[in-house]
Structure 1
Amino acid sequence: MDKKFSEELNEGLQSEKKLDKRDAHVDMMRVRIPKKDFKKARKLAGEILEYQQEHHELYAYDHTQVYVTDSTDYPDDNVWMFIDQYSNREDYLESLVNAAKSDPQSTKNRSDFYAMLTKGQTPKHETWTVLPELVVDYSNQQK
């Protein structure tokens, strides 16, 4: 994952419209897990996220969510997507690396989860940056 912003992203982030800092970036990781292992993977992912919540000092993200869908290309698999929201890209990336290196439980959690993945894939991260002037938010409006 590239730690530097492109010139266009730096320019786009200079918007006059300000958002909650946690909305600045999202990191998405998609992986495939066999459908037969769904319950086991859900339990393990829950335990890992509970550990991360209890040890927030290790992880520099503000919010995380997990989504699951059926794979259209691999009928025996589900696609799991993890989305982390954070305000500082370098701090976020550094926290993931440091947790994996210095915290034995984080290392074990990562290893255990990666063992659940369908064989032959390499998890990839995608990092996205919001353009604040292109956000619509109705959450504070009454219906």
Structure 2
Amino acid sequence: MTPDEAVARVIAAQRSAGETVQPGADADRIATARAALRAEFGAELPEACAALLRRCDGLDHDGLVLYGSAPTRAAPGPGGFWQGLVEMNRLWREAPGRDDVLVLGETDLDLVVVALDGGSPALRDKVGGDVVETFPDVGSALVRLFSAST
């Protein structure tokens, strides 16, 4: 299954459950998010994440939350979705030992992270920070996460 097919399944499951599906982000919004992530954290947004944002600008389904390009608590998206990449990375960095990764999202137990260069995707325990699972690329990580949430 491709990442695009996997996200389509999750979106269909969201709609079936009556959940709010976030509309896709446009190129300007993604470019602004990329610039903010670079400026504030020295981090690169992986292309697979940008592709997901173009399809749905954030996702919250069945214990999986993937952050959007720009929502915040002060300016949430549809359905009150506020978990944006910049705001959530600020929050996660309040705890020590989390400034070496970009947090893309979370499950009930783990953080979905990549290295600051956008590579080395992994799941890390939310509390201890230990690596729980690694993936060869972000697309594989997304397929695995989406498969678990549908």
* TM-score between both structures, scaled by the size of structure 1: 0.25
Instruction: Indicate the structure (1 or 2) with the bigger Cα radius of gyration.
Output: 1
Q: Which has the higher contact order (CA 8 A, sep 6+)?
A: 1
Which has the larger strand fraction?
1
